[in-house]
A and B are shown apart, each in its own frame.
Chain A
């Protein structure tokens, strides 16, 4: 029979535009969140993190927003570059428990 894989959300953006990747988390007690980037053929790499006592954190070209009311996390990438093409995972952490989302595939169009 036909195999069915994970249906990764996909996002295509033009080089130079801003990207917004979204993540819904499940546990209202989660207190720490991490975004990872996984390029083809490599392991996930840490991008940025945020604790639940914050609603925004900025890094270099990246910003993470946390909305605890609706349990939503987003990653904003400014001036998206071809090197940003990858799968992006959010991870939620509750005490010593942690969960990875299924990921979003970002493709940057030159």
Chain B
């Protein structure tokens, strides 16, 4: 299995631009998670899905952030408009059976907003 796949690996964009991060979970996993990691705040859970349905989005910072999961093999995290304080590494993870089980993390997308 290729593991969790994220794209792009690096993204540099200007403030105000729309950014879309993509994730393909491990086949057969029914939970998908989006995290943000910064030096200031550590690893933060943004949102997670179960069977493509958003379950807990309380970690989404504000309306500029949105996430979708149109099918079991694809999810997007969109930031519109982006701001410099959104600069971080964004991880996608997936798990099987429940959010509290072992999560498999992707390699992350390093986002820089200038």
Give me the interface of A with B, judged by CB distance under 8 Å: 3-6, 32, 34, 41-46, 49, 89, 93-98, 100, 102-103
A93 to B93, Cβ gap below 8 A?
Answer: no
Q: What CA separation (Å) do A103 and B41 show in the bound complex?
A: 11
Give me the interface of B with A, judged by CB distance under 8 Å: 4, 39-43, 45, 91, 93, 98-108
A98 to B40, Cβ gap below 8 A?
Answer: no
Main secondary structure of the interface of B (DSSP, over half): loop
Of all chain A residues, which has the CB nearest B92? A43
Known: A89-B43, A100-B43. Is A43-B106 also a contact (CB below 8 A)? Answer: yes
Of all chain B residues, which has the CB nearest A98? B100
B43 to A95, Cβ gap below 8 A?
Answer: no
A43 to B100, Cβ gap below 8 A?
Answer: no
Of all chain A residues, which has the CB nearest B9? A41
Nearest CB of A to B6, in Å: 9
Of all chain B residues, which has the CB nearest A32? B100
Nearest CB of A to B63, in Å: 24
Of all chain B residues, which has the CB nearest A48? B102
Nearest CB of A to B73, in Å: 19
Q: List 20 A-B contacts (CB under 8 A).
A: A3-B40, A4-B40, A5-B39, A5-B40, A6-B39, A6-B40, A41-B107, A42-B108, A44-B43, A44-B91, A44-B103, A45-B105, A46-B102, A89-B43, A93-B100, A94-B100, A96-B98, A96-B99, A97-B99, A97-B100
